[in-house]
Amino acid sequence: MSIRISGLASGIDTDTMVKQLMAAARLPMDKLVQKQQTLEWKRDSYRELNNKILDFKNAAFDMKLQSGYLAKKVSSSLDSVVSVTGSANANEGQYTFEVVKLAKAAGFSTGALGAGDGTATIGEKLALTGTDNKLTIAGAKGTAEITLDEDYTLNEMIANINSKSNETGVKAAYDSTMNRIFFTTTQTGEDSKIDLTLTNSSGTETDLNSIFNMSDTNKSITGEDVTPASANTINIKGLDATIKFNGIQTTYPSNTMTIAGLTFTAKQESTEIATVEVSQDIDSIVDKIKNFVDKYNSLISDVDAKVSEKRDRDYAPLTDAQREEMSEDEIKRWEEKAKAGMLSNDSILSGGMNALRRVLTDTVGGLPSGQLNSLAAIGISNTNIVGSTISGSYADGGKLYIDETKLKAALADNPDEVMALFTTDVTDSANDGIAAKLYDKASNLFQQITDKAGASTSIESNYLLGKENLQIADQITSLTTRLQDLEDRYYKQFTAMETYINQMNSQSNWLAQQFSTS
């Protein structure tokens, strides 16, 4: 950078003059910056719409899945005895279900223990002596061993048992109010079990029934006690659920079981027989279709608004100098107008929307003769007549309306045909169902916009507007260098002028001094 001497000799405001000279020179730079800002606004507008197109694309994918049209409505006449839900594989009809016996986990409580709470030692609570007693715990998951020292507290013993529950499937808890230990398994059914064996340091079995006071008549057992009367061990096993489905009796290890596409949860044993009704869930399917139509209508409304929005060329992006002269509110209002119409008459969007509209109005080829083959056939079209009211016009831009009465009738009378209308997916894509075609068209439109405007994670060199932005950035960099050089040259010229004037003033002063002395 050159040395800058500002008007010391000439009295000229050099900085102001250079600034004025540079203002004219910076006009091409301002144009480039404005062009770059417009490009970024256009990119952001594309991306905003592309997010909505992606949302619609995902909705179209869901509409391609047959499971969405096979929803079932299931009810139980005795919900307090057995509740039931149905999958898409459940067949419509009536079934019976009886809960003969509930599945149970293996579990038991000890009798009342010795004095003290959980902080008392097991020597005090259980009358256990020795420092190397081994408690072997076997459950459905496997077997583990813990060491019991007479000085351990009861709480420590419980914690050690539970630390092995991932290996055994057995847990324990102590309640100080009832003064008992409660053992239980983490699963139900005959495979669940609690097998406990205690040996002392010499390897001799210790009578657990005595240590846990199992002779107490207030002890409890869940499941089945299979401990031999003379054994020192405790052996409890769980119980399977026994049910009758359509009169056929069978067992399950859990109180929740799946039969013929229906999932039952047995709640209580009863001699009453529950009647289970399975029917097509028409309301659920109608809601699914309505939600899809709403997404489509929202998409075309948003796209049409952007494509038809007018571009006012009088409102260009503001330069830094212009911003300095405006208030925040003025800047906001200006930029709202400057951003309008970024996608006005955009051919990609217009073409994409036209492709979607054609899919929705065309018939689906390849379906058997006489089968429902268009949206209009199931009550979905660009017009809707309710009494004397007609909805839908050209101004709607292809918005869809649903005649729910006609749609529900089609689902009730021909559910498989309605499903085929949406989900048919064949080698010849021209004969695909409506949802399959819409998914393809939306995917194509999404990719076209991504190729042009990228995504938030895209590298600029990988999409068209990004490449253009990089070119402008290079031009700005180059022009910035040239403008800096020009500004330096102006200051050098003014500095040279100031230096020359200063020399002339010095000579003039010298001459004046010479004349005055003579």
pLDDT digits (tens, 9 = 90+) for 334-348: 999 999 999 999 999
Domain that holds residue 356: 41-67+284-378+413-460
- Tell me, yes or no, whether 98 and 109 share the same domain: no
Query: Which residues, at least 6 apart from 513, have a Cβ–Cβ distance to it below 8 Å?
Result: none
Instruction: Collapse the DSSP code of 351 into the 3-class scheme (helix H, G, I; strand E, B; otherwise coil) and give the result.
Output: helix
- Tell me, yes or no, whether 152 and 210 share the same domain: yes
List, for residues 441-455, the tens digit of each pLDDT value.
999 999 999 999 999
Judge contact between 199 and 205, C-beta under 8 A.
Answer: yes
- Tell me, yes or no, whether 112 and 97 share the same domain: no
**For position 448, what pLDDT does the model report?**
96
Instruction: Collapse the DSSP code of 327 into the 3-class scheme (helix H, G, I; strand E, B; otherwise coil) and give the result.
Output: coil
**For position 477, what pLDDT does the model report?**
86
Judge contact between 243 and 99, C-beta under 8 A.
Answer: yes
Inside any domain, residue 371: yes
- Tell me, yes or no, whether 147 and 158 share the same domain: yes
Inside any domain, residue 514: no
**For position 384, what pLDDT does the model report?**
64
Segments of the chain with pLDDT less than 50: 388, 394
Extract the tokens encoding 441. 């068209």
Q: How many domains does the chain have?
A: 3
**For position 456, what pLDDT does the model report?**
87
Task: Name the pTM for this structure.
Answer: 0.71
Inside any domain, residue 294: yes
- Tell me, yes or no, whether 263 and 157 share the same domain: no
Residue at which a domain ends, from 460, 476, 496: 460
- Tell me, yes or no, whether 317 and 450 share the same domain: yes
Inside any domain, residue 466: no
- Tell me, yes or no, whether 166 and 271 share the same domain: no
- Tell me, yes or no, whether 299 and 216 share the same domain: no
Of the candidates 62, 75, 176, 169, the residue with the CA atom closest to the CA atom of residue 118: 176
Residue at which a domain ends, from 172, 206, 237: 237
- Tell me, yes or no, whether 258 and 295 share the same domain: no
- Tell me, yes or no, whether 86 and 156 share the same domain: no
CA distances (Å), origin 99, targets 142, 240, 244, 248, 274: 30, 12, 7, 12, 9
**For position 3, what pLDDT does the model report?**
53
**For position 385, what pLDDT does the model report?**
58
Domain at 114, CATH number: 3.30.70
Beta carbons within 10 angstroms of residue 36's beta carbon? 18
Inside any domain, residue 257: yes
